[in-house]
Amino acid sequence: MKNSFGSSIIITLFGESHGDYIGAVLDGIAPGIKIDREYIGRKLALRRPAGKISTARVEADEYEIISGVKGDYTSGTPLCILIKNTNKKSADYGDILDIPRPGHADYTAREKYHGFEDHRGGGHFSGRITAALVAVGAILSCALENKGIKIGSHITELHGAFDRRFDDISSDIDLVNSREFPVLTDVAEEKMKKEIAKAAEMGDSVGGILESAIIGLPAGLGEPWFDSMESMLSHGLFSIPGVKGVEFGLGFAFADVYGSEGNDAFAIRDGKVATESNNNGGINGGITNGMPVVFRTVIKPTPSIFKSQNSISLTKMENTELKLEGRHDPAIIHRARAVVDAVTAIVIADMLAMRYGTDYLAANN
Amino acid sequence: MKNSFGSSIIITLFGESHGDYIGAVLDGIAPGIKIDREYIGRKLALRRPAGKISTARVEADEYEIISGVKGDYTSGTPLCILIKNTNKKSADYGDILDIPRPGHADYTAREKYHGFEDHRGGGHFSGRITAALVAVGAILSCALENKGIKIGSHITELHGAFDRRFDDISSDIDLVNSREFPVLTDVAEEKMKKEIAKAAEMGDSVGGILESAIIGLPAGLGEPWFDSMESMLSHGLFSIPGVKGVEFGLGFAFADVYGSEGNDAFAIRDGKVATESNNNGGINGGITNGMPVVFRTVIKPTPSIFKSQNSISLTKMENTELKLEGRHDPAIIHRARAVVDAVTAIVIADMLAMRYGTDYLAANN
Amino acid sequence: MKNSFGSSIIITLFGESHGDYIGAVLDGIAPGIKIDREYIGRKLALRRPAGKISTARVEADEYEIISGVKGDYTSGTPLCILIKNTNKKSADYGDILDIPRPGHADYTAREKYHGFEDHRGGGHFSGRITAALVAVGAILSCALENKGIKIGSHITELHGAFDRRFDDISSDIDLVNSREFPVLTDVAEEKMKKEIAKAAEMGDSVGGILESAIIGLPAGLGEPWFDSMESMLSHGLFSIPGVKGVEFGLGFAFADVYGSEGNDAFAIRDGKVATESNNNGGINGGITNGMPVVFRTVIKPTPSIFKSQNSISLTKMENTELKLEGRHDPAIIHRARAVVDAVTAIVIADMLAMRYGTDYLAANN
Amino acid sequence: MKNSFGSSIIITLFGESHGDYIGAVLDGIAPGIKIDREYIGRKLALRRPAGKISTARVEADEYEIISGVKGDYTSGTPLCILIKNTNKKSADYGDILDIPRPGHADYTAREKYHGFEDHRGGGHFSGRITAALVAVGAILSCALENKGIKIGSHITELHGAFDRRFDDISSDIDLVNSREFPVLTDVAEEKMKKEIAKAAEMGDSVGGILESAIIGLPAGLGEPWFDSMESMLSHGLFSIPGVKGVEFGLGFAFADVYGSEGNDAFAIRDGKVATESNNNGGINGGITNGMPVVFRTVIKPTPSIFKSQNSISLTKMENTELKLEGRHDPAIIHRARAVVDAVTAIVIADMLAMRYGTDYLAANN
C-alpha cells in the first residue's frame, strides 16, 4: 500500500500544498457515527498555526464532507473530506525545483517522481496535508470517546525546556486537550514559547518530544507478529512529517535498567488485573494489557529556516547556497500534537474494528 | 493482516516454542535466487545462544526448506522453512497459565486467546520463533548483498557500557558481521559481557540499544504518506520481542538541536548528490536520499529473571509471588542483532520489489 | 479492503447518487503519465446515457482532477477526480426507504447500514458512481495503449439478438471502440436497439452479455494461487453493478467438450510461441500465455422497471406493491461496456506495476 | 498479494507436487475452534481420487497440524498443516520442461519463473496442492456449521449428462455431502460416470459444471464496491485449477430474460423478509439478502490426456508432438467439489470475521 493505511478502517490522503484542495477518504467506518462539527473544528484549530510562534500562512480549514454522511451521521460508505487551499503564494517556491532544501523532501521527491512532482510548498509532502488527517482523526476520536477511549499528547521536552510527565492520565488528557499550547503546566508553556521565539529571532527552528497516552483500551488488542500495537502505532506515527523516533513506556531508557526494574509487576486492583508500574507502556508482547498506552514521539526542528544553508543546483550539479524566504514555522511540535492524536485515533479505531467488527464504533454497539 | 508482513514479498510466521516445529513461509520471492546454506547457517549461528551469557537451552536450528526451491535456487513459488524444536522442557512452564510472568505476554495472550493459547515457553510469542525469521531474512539479505546492499547492527549501549558509533559504515558493517558479539571494539565487548555476567549473577537481566545501518540503497525508496521508509522499518522492528523504541538519524536528540544543526546540507561529492552530515539517517520525507540509512532500536531487558516478583493468580484473582526457574537469557540483545538485521532485510527487499518489480532480487536482473 | 482495489495501483471510490459529488482516488500511479483529456472525454461519453434507449437523466460528467497532476502529467502522488452531480431529482425516491425495490440494493443496504445509508437513487450503489471508475480507467488505459496494450468490449447477446464473435481481435477492438453502440456489425446494432426499445415500451428492461478482449499483454502475468489473472479480473468485474457472471475463453461451454477439444495446442508462429486455438482465453494456470485475453461478462436487466412489482413495507413488515416512477434505463449494457473496459484497465495496470515496478506505465519506461 | 488470500482470516499455500510436503498456513482464525479430525478426514476423502474414474495416483492425505492448535482446539495463532507427498513418480515428467503440455501451466510458469520453477507434476500449480486447501477449508466449514451455515456442491452438467437443480436446498446440501459422487440423483451419477468412463477409454477427459449453495448466511454481508460477495467468492474460485467461469443466480441466463422476470420480488414469509424467487442468487448490490447464495462454477476438462497433441520444443523453438504417459484423471470435477466447498468456506469465514470480529467463529460467540 501507499497513501492508504488501515485494514478495516482505511484512510487515503490526497492533495498538494498549492493545489486547489487537499483531502482524505475514510473507508470502512461504521454507519451511525455522529459527525460533531464543533468537535472537529476544535481539533482543526489545535493544528492551525496561531500567533507569533507559527507561520504567517493561516488557512481557515473550512472543510466539506462530500460523501458518506447523511444528516449528521456517517452512512457507512466512504467519507470524503475536502479542504480548500485558499492562501497560496507559489511564487515563493520558484527555486527549490533546482536547489533542494536541506531536511526537506525536495531531493527525494525528485528521485522518486523524476521531476513530475508538484514541488510548490512541498507538494504532497507538505504539512498542509495533515489538516485532512486531523479532520478524519477527529471523526474517529469523537466516536472513540463515546466508547470511553481518550487520547491526548503534550510536549515533554523542547530544546532544553521540560514539562512534567503524565501523572493522573485521565485528568491530564482532559487538561492538555483544553489547552491551546499542549503542555500540562503554565511554566512549561512560558519556557517553551520563549525557546521558540528565540529560535524564530535567529531565523532558526526547534523540535521537541511529545508524550501521548491512550486510556480506555480493552486488554487483548494487537497481534504477536508484525501487527503488534507498537508496530501499528509506529507505522502511522512515522508517516507524520518530521517524526524521527517513537518509543513506548520507558523506551530507550530500558537500556539502563535491570529486568527487575523494567518488569511491571501484576496486582489485583479494585478486583481487576493491573500492573504496579507501567514501564511497558500498556503493551506486553505487542498486545494491550489494559493499562494506559503511553508513547513518546520526537519531532525534528522544522527544516525551513531563514539562515543561509549549503545546497546544490541539480541542473548544474554544483554546490551553491540557499536562503529561504516566505512563511515558515519556527516550530511545529505544538501543532503536531493534533496530528499525532489523529493518527493514534485512526490506528486504534482500525484495530478495534478488526477485532470487534465493522459496526463496533457505532454509538449503540 | 496479522502474522504476515509485506506487500510484494510476504513473510508469514508460525509455530510455538514447545510445538514440534516453528517455521515461516516466504511468498513473492523472485525465482533464481541462490540459496547459500553457509550464509544462512552463519546468520542462524549469530542468533543462537552461546556460552555463559545466554540461555542453557541450545537448539541446533537445523532447518529444512520444504517448498519453493529447486536445486540451489528459489523457484519463485512460496518457500516454506521448517525448524524442529528438539530441546523442550515444558514441565518448567506449569505455573504460568495461572500466574502471568511480569513483562511477558502471558496475561495479554490470555486476554486475546481466552485461555486456548499454547502458553508453554511463551508459545507463539517466544523468541524461539525468531529463528525462522532469521533464516528467511538470511535468504533475502544474501540476495541484497549481490545487489550491493549491506546491513549490519552493533550494540551501542548496554547498561552503562558503550561502543563507539558507526564511522566508516561499509567497513564497520563488515567488521560487526564478522564478530560473534556484535560490537565494533574489543573493549566494548569486554565491558558489556561483564555487565551481562553481573546481571546473570544477580538472577537479573539487561537490555540495550542496537545501532543499525543499511548501505547501497538507491535514492527514491519509500512513500510520502503511511508507507514511509521509517514507517515500514519500524513496523517490522516493533514486532520483534523486546523492542520498545526505534529512532532514525539523530532520533530523540533532535529535541535538543536547532534546525540549522539538524538539517543535512547537500553537496556534490564525486559527481553525485550527497549530504555533508547524516542527521536524518538517510531519509527525507519518508524516502531514501542515497546516504546510509541509520537507525537505533532499544531492546528491553529479558523479562525472565530469577528474582522473586509480584504477580497474581488469575484463577483466584488474588496477589501472589512468582519465582521463575528454568533456562533464561540474562541478555538477548547480542542475539537480537541477527533478528533486527533479518527484519531489515525483509522490509528492504519488499520495498525494492514493489518499486522495481518482482524479479528485481534475482541475480541477473 | 472495502471500497478500495489493487495492490500497487489502488483505486478508491466515493460518493452517492444524489450527493454533491462522486469521485475516485487513484494511488500508486507512475509519475509522467500524460493526462489526455480528449481520450478521457471520449470514454466518459461512451458511458453516458444517450437517446431513446437510455435514462432521461443526463449528466455532463464534467470532471475535475484536484490532485496528483502537474501540467498535463501525473505527478505520481494520489490523483483525485471529482464529478459534480448536477441533475438530481431526489423527490422520486421518497418511498424506497420503506419499500425496497426488487433487484436493487435497497434492502441489503438497509441490513448493512442499519438505515443510515443514503438511499436516494441507490446512494453509493448507484451506477452513477461508475462515471468516476470510467474516468480513472481512461487515464490508465490511455497509458496502457502507449505500451501496446488495447482493451475493447462488445455486446454478443441481448435478449435473443446476437453480434458476431471477435475475429481479428486487434482491428475488432479498434472497430468497437469507434462505435457508440458497442457491437461489431450494423445489423446487430439494429436488432439489439429494437429489443431495448421493445422492453422500454413495455415498461420493462433487458440485460445482455459483453465479450471483452485484451491484446498486447506479456506472457507470465498472474499468480498460481489466489491472484490468478482470472481471479483479479473477476474480482474487479463482479463489483460492477448488474454483473452476475464472468467466464474466460470457452467458459461454461467447457462442460460440453473433451479435453482434446478444449486444450490449445502450442505452435511456433513468426518465431514466437503461440497457441493454435484460444479456448483458454489467453490464460493457463492463472497466468497469461501471450495470446489475447478473452472473457465474457453477463449484465442482468436493469432492475428499475415501470411495471408493478411485489414488495414489502419494512416499517409495517407486510406485503405491498411497488410501482416505480422517475427516469430509468431500459438497458445499461451498452453503457456498461465503458465500465467493464475501465475495470479491466485498472486490474491490468495494477498487475503490470506489481510485476515490473511502479514506474512501468510511464511513457519512457 | 500472491499465494495468500483473505483480510482477517488469511490462507497461504505452499508446496510442489513432487516435493516432500505440501501445506498451508491459516492465520487469523479464532481461538477455541474445535478440530474435528473425523470431519476433516471426510472432506479430504471426497477430494481424493477413487476408483476407475480417477488417477491411479492415490495419496493417503495424512496431514499433520504443526502449529496453532492446543489439544483439540485452535489456539488463535497461525495454524500450519503439512501433508506429505508419498507417491511421486517424477520420471514421468522428464519432457515437459522442454515440451509444454497444452492446457497446462508449463509454458506460463516458464515465462513467469524463467525456468527455475519445479515443473515435475505441475509443481506448485498441481491440483495436489488443493489437498491443503481442503484441509484448511474443512476446519472453517466445520466451525461455520456450528453457526448454522452450510455449504454444498453438486455436478449439474457433465458432457451432456445432467443432474436436477437444487430444490430444498438445506436437505439437498445434506444429501450431496453424504454422497461420494456429488450429484442429487442416482440416475445422474450413472450417466455421468458413464461419460467419464467413455472419455477415459478414448484417452480423453471431460469437465463439467458445479452448482453450489450456502445457507444460513446473515443478510448484510459484502461490500458495494470491489469486495462484493460475488467478487470475493469469484476471486477465490478462479484460483482453483481448471475453473473458467463463475455465475450467480440466473448467471448468463440473465441475457435472455426481462427485468420483470429477473427481479426477485420481496415478500414477508414467517414474519421475515424473503424473496419469492432467487434469481439473484441471494445477493443484491454485492451484499447478501438472507436467501441462499447460489452459484455455478465450470471446470474445464482435465488438460492431461493420452491422445497425441501438437506442441513445441522450447529449446529448439520448433513444432513437435507430445504424447503424455503417467497417471491422470479423465475427470476432476467430482473431486473439485471438495475444493470449491473449501474455498467457499474460506471466503465466507473471512467475510464474517471482518464484519463481526475475529472471535466470531469460536463456538461460544
List residues bridging with D27 in a β-sheet.
D10
Longest dimension (CA), chain D: 71
Please report which confidence band the pLDDT of residue B3 belongs to, taking 50, 70 and 90 as the band edges.
confident
List of chain C residues whose C-beta atoms are within 8 Å of the C-beta of residue B8: 7-8, 354
Chain A residues touching residue C70 (CB < 8 angstroms): 116-118
**Of all residues in chain C, what percent carry a pLDDT higher than 90?**
85
Chain C, 295 to 314: residues with Cβ < 8 Å from chain D are: 296, 298-305, 307, 309-312, 314
Contacts of C333 (CB under 8 A, 6+ apart): C155, C158, C206, C207, C208, C210, C299
Which regions in chain C score pLDDT beneath 70? Answer: 1, 50-60, 88-96, 363-365
CA–CA min distance D116, chain B (Å)? 5
Give the best residue of A2, A120, A239 to mutate against chain C (max C CB count within 10 A).
Answer: A2
**DSSP per-residue codes, C282-338:** TEETTEE-SSPEEEEEEEPPPS--SS-EEEEETTTTEEEEE---S---S--HHHHHH
What cell does A308 get? 543561509
pTM for the complete prediction?
A: 0.96
- Count Cβ–Cβ pairs < 8 Å, chain B vs chain D: 161
Chain D CB within 8 Å of residue B112 CB: yes
- pLDDT of B37-90, one tens digit each? 999 999 999 998 765 566 655 556 789 999 999 999 999 999 999 999 987 665
User: Is residue C192 within 8 angstroms of chain B, CB to CB?
Assistant: no
Beta bridge partners of B64: B82
How far is it between the farthest Cα atoms of chain C? 71
Strands D79-84 and D63-67: antiparallel
What would the pLDDT profile of A29-41 be if each residue is shown by its tens digit?
999 999 999 999 9
Task: Choose the closest CB to A358 out of D77, D224, D355.
Answer: D355
> Which residues have C-beta within 8 Å of that of residue A46, sequence separation ≥ 6?
A134, A180, A182, A335, A337, A338
Distance from CA of C85 to the nearest CA of A (A): 11
Task: Kindly list the partner chains of chain B, i.e. chains with 3 or more CB atom pairs below 8 Å.
Answer: A, C, D
Query: Which chain B residues are Cβ-neighbours of A105 within 8 angstroms?
Result: 224, 284-287
CB burial of residue C125 (10 Å; 0-12, 13-18, 19+): buried
Query: C125: Cβ–Cβ under 8 A, 6 or more apart, which residues?
Result: C104, C105, C109, C241, D224, D285, D286
pLDDT value of position D138:
98
Give residues with Cβ within 8 angstroms of C303, minimum separation 6. C101, C102, C103, C104, C205, D259, D262, D263
In the predicted model, what is the mean pLDDT of residues B181-207?
A: 97
| CB contact C6 to A (< 8 Å) | no
Is residue D66 within 8 A of residue B20, CB to CB? The reply is yes
Structural domains for chain B:
4-356 (3.60.150.10)
Contact between A263 and B216 under an 8 Å Cβ cutoff? The reply is no
**C-beta neighbour count of D167 within 10 angstroms:** 8
B3 in contact with chain D, both atoms CB, cutoff 8 A:
yes
pLDDT exceeds 70 at position D52: no
The set of cell numbers assigned to A32 is: 451511525
C224 touches chain B (CB under 8 A): yes
Distances (CA, A) of A269 to A19, A275, A291, D288: 54, 9, 12, 46
Q: Nearest CB to B116: which of D3, D31, D67?
A: D31
| Chain D CB contacts of C285 below 8 Å | 104-105, 108-109, 122, 125, 241
DSSP secondary structure string, B149-168?
-EEEEEEEEETTEE-PPPSS
Rounded CA-CA distance A37/A302 in Å is: 30
Enumerate residues 28 to 67 of chain A having a beta carbon within 8 A of any beta carbon in chain C: 28, 31-32, 66-67
Residue appearing with cell numbers 520525507:
B285
Task: Find all residues with CB under 8 Å of B115, minimum gap 6, and list them.
Answer: B97
How far A248 CA lies from chain D's nearest CA (Å)? 25
3-state helix, strand, coil in chain D (%, to 5): 35, 25, 40
Q: How far is CA C144 from CA A260, C141, C210, in A?
A: 62, 5, 21
- Please check whether residue A208 touches B, CB under 8 A: yes
Check: CB of residue D317 under 8 Å from CB of residue C271: yes
CA dist., res. A265 & res. A276, Å (int): 5
Place of cell 508459545: B123
Q: Which residue of chain A comes nearest to B159, CA vs CA?
A: A256
User: How much is the pLDDT for B58?
Assistant: 56
The Cα B276–Cα B167 span in angstroms is 14
Taking the C-alpha atoms of residue B56 and residue A183, their distance in angstroms, rounded to an integer, is: 48
Does pLDDT of D67 surpass 60? yes
Q: Taking residues D71-93, report their average pLDDT.
A: 85
Work out the angle at residue C55's Cα, subtended by the Cα atoms of residues C53 and C56, and round it to the nearest 5 degrees.
110
pLDDT at A218: 98
- Judged against a pLDDT cut of 80, whether residue A142 lies above it is answered with yes
Q: What is the pLDDT of residue C325?
A: 84
**Across the strands, what pairs with C22?**
C15, C83
Q: Which of C7, C12, C64, C84 to mutate to test the interface with A (most CBs of A within 10 A)?
A: C12
> What Rg do the C-alpha atoms of chain D give, in angstroms?
21
d(CA D293, CA D154): 14
Confidence (pLDDT) at A3 = 79
> Does C95 reach chain D within 8 Å, measured CB to CB?
no
- Whether residue C354 and residue B8 make contact (CB cut-off 8 A), yes or no, is yes
Mean pLDDT of D237-251: 98
- CB hemisphere CA count around A356 (13 angstroms): 19
CA–CA separation, C107 and D262 (whole Å): 17
- Please indicate if any CB of chain D lies within 8 Å of the CB of B360: no
pLDDT of D357 reads 96
Question: Which chains would you list as touching D if contact means 3+ CB atom pairs under 8 Å?
Answer: A, B, C
To probe the interface with D, which of B2, B26, B83, B358 has the most D CB atoms within 10 Å? B2
Chosen for mutation from D9, D67, D74 (greatest number of chain B CBs closer than 10 Å) is D67
Q: Is D10 on the interface with B (CB under 8 A)?
A: yes
pLDDT at position D82: 97
Chain C environment of A19 (Cβ under 8 Å) = 66-67
Measured between CA atoms, the residue of chain D closest to residue A365 is: D356
Please indicate whether, in this complex, the C-beta atoms of D360 and A357 are within 8 angstroms of each other.
yes
Partner-chain residue, chosen from B112, B262, B299, that has the shortest CB–CB distance to A300: B262
* A49 phi/psi in degrees, rounded to 5: -65, 145
Residue located via cell numbers 497425441: D308
Q: Based on the number of CB atoms within 10 Å of its own CB, is A249 exposed (0-12), middle (13-18) or buried (19 or more)?
A: buried
Out of C25, C28, C124, name the one closest to residue A25 (CB): C25
Compute the distance between CA of residue C331 and CA of residue C196 in angstroms, rounded to an integer. 6
Residue D97 in contact with partner chain B when CB distance is under 8 A:
no
Beta bridge pairs of residue B213:
B152, B294
Chain D contact probe: residue of C8, C10, C17, C112 with most D CBs at under 10 A = C112
Q: Given CB atoms, is D356 within the 8 Å cutoff of chain A? A: yes
Query: Rounded to an integer, what distance in angstroms lies between the CA atom of residue D344 and that of residue D283?
Result: 15
> Which residues of chain A have a CB within 8 Å of the CB of B4?
226
What is the C-alpha to C-alpha distance for residues B163 and B176, in angstroms, rounded to an integer?
Answer: 11
The verdict on a CB contact (< 8 Å) between C113 and A12 is no
- pLDDT confidence of residue B96: 63
- Give the torsion sign (CA, B158, B159, B164, B167): positive
What distance lies between CA B5 and its chain's CA centroid?
14
Cα–Cα dist C153/C345, whole Å: 12
**pLDDT cut 90: percent of chain B above it:** 85
Chain D residues touching C25 at Cβ < 8 A: none
pLDDT band at A23 (very low <50, low <70, confident <90, very high): very high
Task: Kindly report the backbone phi and psi dihedral angles of residue D151, in degrees, each rounded to the nearest multiple of 5, phi listed first.
Answer: -130, 140
The Cα–Cα gap between B156 and B167 comes to: 12
Q: What is the pLDDT of residue D91?
A: 57
Q: Is the pLDDT of residue D58 over 60?
A: no
Q: Which three cell numbers stand for residue D300?
A: 474445464
What pLDDT does residue D57 have?
A: 55
Contacts D15 to B, Cβ<8 Å: 66-67, 78, 80
Chain B residue with CA closest to A5: the answer is B226
The residue among C284, C262, B80 whose CA lies nearest residue D125 is C284
Residue D202 confidence (pLDDT): 96
**CA of D71 vs chain C CAs: smallest distance (Å):** 31
Share of chain B above pLDDT 70, in %: 93
